[in-house]
Amino acid sequence: MTERIYSFLGLARKANKLVSGYESCERLLKAGKVSLIIVAEDASLSTKEKFINACNYRSVDIKIFGKKELLGKFIGKDIRSVIAILDKGFANRTIQMIDEAKIGCGGEAIGKKESL
C-alpha cells in the first residue's frame, strides 16, 4: 500500500501539483498555496515541530509519512524531508491513502492499544 502512495506522489509531481524541499514548502505554506504538507518520519524533530505548528496555525493538513530517501526517489529528486501538495484533489486522495495504510489490511492491530 505504501508503494502506491509513493507512486501517487510521483504522479502529483508530474502534474506540477507537488513541491519539495524545506524552504520551498515553507514559502508556499506562508503564501497560502498549500493543501497538504507531508513530513518524512525520519525528518528531524525540529523540522516536524516547525511544520506541525505552521500547519496548525494556517489550518493546513499535515501528515507524517514515509522515509526521506523514498520520498525523494519517487518524485525524481534527492533526499526530501518535506513535500507540499498544492491541489486539493491530490491532497484529499493522499490523505485518504495514508489513513488507509495506517489502518492496515487485517488483524495486525487486534489487541494493541492505540494512543491519541
pLDDT tens across 50-63, in order? 999 999 999 999 99
In the three-class reduction of DSSP (H, G, I as helix; E, B as strand; rest coil), residue 18 is classed as strand
In tens, the pLDDT along 100-115 reads: 887 665 555 555 554 4
Cβ contacts of 92 within 8 Å, gap of 6 or more: 35
Query: Whole-angstrom Cα distance, residue 4 to residue 97?
Result: 8
Query: What pLDDT was estimated at residue 115?
Result: 44
Nearest 5°: phi and psi at 69?
-65, -45
Of how many residues is the chain composed?
A: 116
DSSP lists the bridge partners of residue 42 as none
Query: What pLDDT was estimated at residue 106?
Result: 52
Cell numbers at 87, concatenated: 491541489
